[in-house]
Amino acid sequence: MKKGLLVCRTEGEEAEEAGNLTALRSLLKEIPHPFRPGMEVGIKVHWGEKGNRGFLPAPYTKEIVLWLQGLQVRPFVFDTSVLYSGGRRDGAESLETARRNGFSEETLGCPVIVADGLDGRAVHSIPARMKHFATVQVADVVGKTGGFVIFSHFKGHMLSSFGGAIKNLSMGFASRAQKQRMHSDAHPVLNRKKCTRCGLCVKVCPAGAASIGKGAFPAYDLQRCIGCSQCIALCAEAALKIFWDSDPGVFQEKLVETAAAVWRVIGARSIAINALIRITKECDCMPGRNPTIARDAGFVGGGDPVAVDRESLSIVGSEPFENAHPGIPWKKQFEHAAAVGFGAPGKGQART
């Protein structure tokens, strides 16, 4: 038995939602937390992109809301706006997407907000003093809220192999400008043999970096590209691949540094919970169906997001993510976390 981490597994080969909810309730009954009556506590979630079908359904977040209300704290649910086109680019669109995906005050019983504001300007900078960033820009909620539950969907990601608590802390709290700084090293490269010249990549590019002439192949202005990789993810022919301006591990280093800077500010008043269910190939930012790559395994929670991610990966195994995203060095998240003093290497768990 290790200290500080709680693991509640879902029973059965193919877990029903009821079984998963039971596992989450079991974890919430036992998990240590810093919350006190009267505190305002933000639940950081990803409520799914418009049309996405792989995100964690709202009933899981509702369980955390009910648990916090039972502790006599004042919960609210939040996310931040994003770089790419879709249903979460600004606050109004994001709240409508949240509502359509089941995340609203009526369904959850608490406020639902976009933490960087309707215009994305409710942000400020906090110190980082690390390899890539001297400061990172984050949503104002970081300094204005009593505590946080970082509730993360553990799943695949084309740029980091997997995404969990570390990614939710970094991309989830970052301003749009900070998100762009993290994505800046990834750009598309076209395989003309696979390209059907459908023009979808041009339609979805939020920066106007893709163009296509009549009867021609698409072209990409890498000076305008913001590295969001939406064109790569949505290409039905898999005609686009990632071209890295630098080592592909740099993206993960930037993820870790942003998460570490956020955790320095909020860690003493926060916990992290990973949901190892609906483990999909890609993140919840992608519209449409997202194939699962591993069976449901339950929940991991504790006060160290790095340990929570490490234990989540040990339960699911690295193979599903390596097969889904070959060549992406997933170990970099843990290596760089250790290098910047983020998390306790090997910090443990209690199993139930």
pLDDT digit string (tens) for 297-306?
A: 999 999 999 9
Q: What is the mean pLDDT of residues 241-254?
A: 83
Q: What is the mean pLDDT of residues 152-158?
A: 96
In the block, which residue shows the tokens 């608590």?
165
Quote the pLDDT of residue 91.
Answer: 84
CA distances from 275 to 223, 267, 297, 312, 341 (A): 37, 19, 8, 9, 25
Q: Which of 1-10, 55-64, 73-82, 231-240 is predicted least confidently?
A: 1-10
Contact (CB, 8 A) for 153 and 56 = yes
Quote the pLDDT of residue 84.
Answer: 66
Q: How far apart are CA 197 and CA 212, in angstroms?
A: 8
Q: What is the mean pLDDT of residues 220-238?
A: 83
Please state the three-class secondary structure of the chain as a single string: CCCCEEEECCCCCCCCHHHHHHHHHHHHHHCCCCCCCCCEEEEECCCCCCCECCCCCHHHHHHHHHHHHHCCCEEEEEECCCCCCCCCCCHHHHHHHHHHCCCCHHHHCCCEEECCCCCCCCEEEEECCCCCCCEEEEECHHHHCCEEEEEEECEEECCCEEECHHHHHHHHHECHHHHHHHHCCEEEEECCCCCCCCCHHHHHCCCCCEECCCCCCCEECCCCCCCCCHHHHHCCCCCEEEEECCCCHHHHHHHHHHHHHHHHHHHHHEEEEEEECCEECCCCCCCECCCEEECCCEEEEECCHHHHHHHHHHHHCCHHHHHHCCCCCCHHHHHHHHHCCCCCCCCCCEEC
Report whether pLDDT(1) > 80. no
Domain 186-244 is of which CATH architecture? 2-Layer Sandwich (3.30)
Report whether pLDDT(313) > 70. yes
pLDDT digit string (tens) for 27-80?
A: 999 999 999 999 999 999 999 988 888 999 999 999 999 999 999 999 999 999
Q: How many C-beta atoms surround the C-beta of residue 19 within 10 A?
A: 17
Q: What is the mean pLDDT of residues 207-224?
A: 92
Report whether pLDDT(85) > 70. no
pTM (two decimals): 0.86
Residue 328, both tokens: 């992406």
Report whether pLDDT(327) > 50. yes
Q: Which of 48-57, 215-224, 312-321, 340-349 is predicted least confidently?
A: 340-349
Quote the pLDDT of residue 180.
Answer: 81
Quote the pLDDT of residue 348.
Answer: 37
% of the chain residues with pLDDT over 90:
70
pLDDT digit string (tens) for 109-134?
A: 999 999 999 888 899 999 999 999 99
**Radius of gyration, CA atoms only, the chain:** 19
**Residue ranges per structural domain of the chain:** 5-181+248-351, 186-244
Quote the pLDDT of residue 252.
Answer: 95
Query: pLDDT category, 344, cuts 50, 70, 90?
Result: confident
Query: pLDDT category, 309, cuts 50, 70, 90?
Result: very high
Report whether pLDDT(171) > 80. yes
Report whether pLDDT(334) > 60. yes
Residue 248, both tokens: 């592909």
Residue 23, both tokens: 């596992």
Q: Which fold has domain 5-181+248-351?
A: Rossmann fold (3.40.50)
Quote the pLDDT of residue 35.
Answer: 98
